[in-house]
Structure 1
Amino acid sequence: MRAAVIYTGIFVLMLMLWTPAGSAQRAVGGCDCIPDQVIVQLLDPATLPAVAAQYGLDPQPVSQVATPPIFLLTITNGQTPEQVVAAMTTPAPGDPRVIFAEVNRKLSQVERTGLDWTQGRSWAIGRSWAIGGSSKGYSRQWFTQRIRLNEAFEQGQTRGEGVTVAVLDTGIDLSHPAFSGRLVEPKLRWDFVDNDSDPSEVGTLRVDPAFGHGTHVAGIVAITAPAAKIMPLRVLDQNGEGELWRITAALIWAANNGAEVANLSFGYPDDVRLIKDLVECADVGTTPNGTTFPIGANRMAVVAASGNGGNRIPVFPAAEDLNGMLGVGASTRVDLLAAFTSYDRSWVEVTAPGEDIVSAIPGGRYALWTGTSMAAPIVSGITALVRAKNPQLTIPHDWLDIVKETSVDKRFGNVPPWGEVRLNRVDALCAVTNTINCPIPSSVTTDFGIDYKQTK
């Protein structure tokens, strides 16, 4: 449902039932989170009234999910979310009735401008030459050659048939020719911002910097795995912002409606428990502490962009370092780490081309965009190819392991500001043929003025 004025209320999932949250999104003190809300998991749901009374919370949850239950609760005593979480969790080990408590923090597309933990890199800013590309440029661009995509189609005999990739983003231009015949049926799409079945993008080209992000990301999935289906799920608003509970709802929706790969081209600067537990459950059915989510036997791999900070500062969820998720950095045309990439070898497991990638934008057009948001959907597409090629493998981390272990293992010594770099640039041909020692192509060893010393 589209309107001239966008409704900004928060909608959340309660075992697939929708409930509007009354608070508007704004920063609270130093917390970039939803005001008047906390997320709490209790060992025993029967203790909720007592816990709510002690910490100034409404005992009637806004929503809940998982077993043991994870509640989204409203703060009623005027304290900030950070103050309530601190009261529950400090001093360690905290309230014994509480498994974890955290704020319902906001998150953003990693190309969004104005963030202190990532750099905005957009075709909409100083890149007007990139607007108005062609379908020919889309189908013949450099990254498909670098990852040997056509060779993978021919030798692997798969283009992602039977696999669905969920794209959690700003929405999509549903009528763009790049998606003709490639989207899931309408009943499987959803807008988690406006709470309706039309996940179209909202905004204006060149006015709203986030506008087109989801369409561009989905277009990259479409070219990498052209026979896979794309499930567009709008979780980021017109400003490129979302929040954790909304993402949780969308991931559960995706898993329950047939998605086997989920692409997350967004991030946040703090570690959180809720998404970590859900990703672990989507991988193997439960978490180490026994938490389960309402996804039944459905399993789903998750691919997340590492962020564009150009430093080693972790960006989550990519930095969670989970078996069922790959954190993805960006590589260049000459197989070097892109200068803008947030990277540390401890949590960025693979890279993929991420500079000047041609893809779809709203209005049936094409444009270039740069960022790890563009690298992640290449990895999501290759994961779909691997899944289609290996139907006997039913655990998502097995598909992701193949993508990682068949990557181009190009290593460099001390590269400021990242230290030791292991590129691990994905290769579609090696992935679908399960070739572990993927050959290192010849290339130059400098880029963006950075001196690289290759060690392997």
Structure 2
Amino acid sequence: MNNEYEPGKVIMAFRQKMNSKQKLYESLNVVLQDIEYENVELIFHSQNDEGDIFLVRLKDKHPQAVFDAIEKIAMYPDIDYVEADYIENKHLNANDPLYSQLWGIQKIKAPLAWNYTTGSQEVVVGIIDTGIDDSHPDIRRNMWQSPQGRIVNGWNFADDNQFSMDVDGHGTHVAGTVGAVGNNYIGITGVCWNVKVVSMKFGLDVASAIAAIDFANAFHIPILNASWGGRVYSLALKQAIDQYDGLFIASAGNNGENNDIYPIYPATYESANIISVAAISPSNELAGFSNYGIKSVDIAAPGTSILSLDLQGGYSPLNGTSMAAPHVAGAAALLKSYFPSLSPLAIKNIILNNVTKLPQLKNTIKTSGLLNLEAMFEGAKQQMRQRIE
């Protein structure tokens, strides 16, 4: 169980949104009057009457100072919650290079879906992860930039700057499964050939994840992939996801445990816009490392020996629910490309209602099923016809 947190940082939210900057400043001064802090940063703009979410940077970097500050701040009735800035884990298992082909793409029947569309440059998927190697020749063409071109490739939410380059490899691998350029005579293809992917580099902490979600709202990014998680239930992270205007794809985790009993967040939050993804092997068995849950895990996707992009123009196979989730994010991007008017919840329902039922997954995950892109498009067409009629 990982309960590690960032020293010198506290996340808090007021019960209600402040009507004026003066009222906000007055409230902050009262709440923080006994706290020695460096600065306060607004990291999430509330979309309703709930209060905004703030990150308080403490002067004292000793780990105990976080909980001393939490105890003092929590005494004020205007505070809805206050918590540490907990660290998340990447959902990546050890690498066993068993396959040299994209078996996952075939398993989810992506080639049949490409008869409908291979994607659209108007659809954007945010990858909240370790960044993306935007110099990789097999994804460079699909990298996002803001409408005015002021922000290129993405943003680094850990350091609050434009350097969102991946130096770890995890985020690049995830991004490749979503949207590596297809039909270009180079390397692999993503589930969605034509798409814009955003490098949303975060520090594996809750605060920078929340800031990334706020960014997604500001730039109307309709799909987010989160191939990471932790044991701690963060009220702040749940609020941000609940108020995110798009579809949030989350990996179920790699503990081989039941999320109904031992939950992993954000995948296990009861948020309407989350799809929680388990991993299967080529034999349709739940991967030995994959978490599951009949109530908390929605769908399965390929997650063992998944070949995708690596740093410095390379390719490598990796294992994990981290590798399963981007198959679903890519599927959502394809569906959004073909039916742009579909809402996030409509996309979620179409994906989950058109799976390949597998006896191995019965009483294991909510749908008992594997992602099926052909059935997804057939189901979407039927739903759109019913709308017209």
- TM norm structure 2: 0.81
Residue number among 130, 136, 144 corresponding to 1:184 in the alignment:
144
CA contact (8 A) 2:124 2:195 kept: yes
Structure 2's unaligned 5+ residue stretches are 19-23, 180-189, 383-389
- Helix, strand or coil: the match of 1:252? helix
Residue number among 116, 135, 145 corresponding to 1:175 in the alignment:
135
Matches within 5 A, 1:285-304: 299-304=245-250
- Helix, strand or coil: the match of 1:255? helix
- In structure 2, C-alpha distance between the alignment counterparts of 1:229 and 1:243, rounded to whole Å: 25
- In structure 2, C-alpha distance between the alignment counterparts of 1:389 and 1:432, rounded to whole Å: 9
Q: 2:163 matched to which residue of 1?
A: 198
Q: CA deviation at 1:336?
A: 2.0
Q: Call closer, same or farther: CA 1:406–1:160 in 2, change over 3 Å.
A: farther
The alignment status of 1:159 with 2:119, answered yes or no, reads: yes
Once the two structures are superposed, residues 220-253 of structure 1 have per-residue CA deviations (whole angstroms, 9 ceiling, x without a partner) of: 01110111111112214xxxxx211111112222
Q: 1:239 matched to which residue of 2?
A: none
CA contact (8 A) 2:251 2:267 kept: yes
- In structure 2, C-alpha distance between the alignment counterparts of 1:104 and 1:162, rounded to whole Å: 34
- Helix, strand or coil: the match of 1:323? coil
Matches within 5 A, 1:206-221: 211-221=168-178
- In structure 2, C-alpha distance between the alignment counterparts of 1:411 and 1:321, rounded to whole Å: 26
Structure 2 counterpart of 1:427, which letter? Answer: N
Q: CA deviation at 1:180?
A: 3.8
Q: Which has the higher contact order (CA 8 A, sep 6+)?
A: 2
- Helix, strand or coil: the match of 1:167? strand
Q: Call closer, same or farther: CA 1:331–1:98 in 2, change over 3 Å.
A: same
Q: CA deviation at 1:64?
A: 5.0
- Helix, strand or coil: the match of 1:163? strand
CA contact (8 A) 2:286 2:361 kept: no
Q: 1:401 matched to which residue of 2?
A: 349
Q: 1:33 matched to which residue of 2?
A: 5
- In structure 2, C-alpha distance between the alignment counterparts of 1:104 and 1:261, rounded to whole Å: 24
- In structure 2, C-alpha distance between the alignment counterparts of 1:332 and 1:75, rounded to whole Å: 46
- In structure 2, C-alpha distance between the alignment counterparts of 1:379 and 1:414, rounded to whole Å: 20
- In structure 2, C-alpha distance between the alignment counterparts of 1:311 and 1:278, rounded to whole Å: 26
Once the two structures are superposed, residues 27-85 of structure 1 have per-residue CA deviations (whole angstroms, 9 ceiling, x without a partner) of: xxx9511123221112353433222235x354952445434232222446875423543
Q: 1:233 matched to which residue of 2?
A: 200
- Helix, strand or coil: the match of 2:194? coil
Matches within 5 A, 1:90-129: 95-111=76-92, 121-123=93-95, 127=96
- Helix, strand or coil: the match of 1:233? strand
Residue number among 346, 369, 375 corresponding to 1:430 in the alignment:
375
- Helix, strand or coil: the match of 1:330? strand
Q: 1:49 matched to which residue of 2?
A: 29
CA contact (8 A) 1:407 1:436 kept: no
RMSD: 2.7
- Helix, strand or coil: the match of 1:345? coil
CA contact (8 A) 2:297 2:365 kept: no
Structure 1 counterpart of 2:177, which letter? Answer: I
- In structure 2, C-alpha distance between the alignment counterparts of 1:107 and 1:251, rounded to whole Å: 15
Structure 1's unaligned 5+ residue stretches are 1-29, 112-120, 203-210, 237-241, 283-298, 438-456
Q: CA deviation at 1:321?
A: 2.5
CA contact (8 A) 1:314 1:342 kept: no
Q: CA deviation at 1:374?
A: 0.3
- In structure 1, C-alpha distance between the alignment counterparts of 2:278 and 2:213, rounded to whole Å: 22
Residue number among 183, 202, 212 corresponding to 1:250 in the alignment:
212
- TM norm structure 1: 0.70
Q: CA deviation at 1:362?
A: 1.0
Q: Call closer, same or farther: CA 1:309–1:256 in 2, change over 3 Å.
A: same
Q: CA deviation at 1:327?
A: 1.0
- Helix, strand or coil: the match of 1:383? helix
Q: 1:81 matched to which residue of 2?
A: 66
Structure 2 counterpart of 1:66, which letter? Answer: H
Q: Call closer, same or farther: CA 1:339–1:160 in 2, change over 3 Å.
A: farther
Structure 2 counterpart of 1:386, which letter? Answer: L
- In structure 1, C-alpha distance between the alignment counterparts of 2:239 and 2:366, rounded to whole Å: 29
Once the two structures are superposed, residues 242-274 of structure 1 have per-residue CA deviations (whole angstroms, 9 ceiling, x without a partner) of: 211111112222332342111111111111111
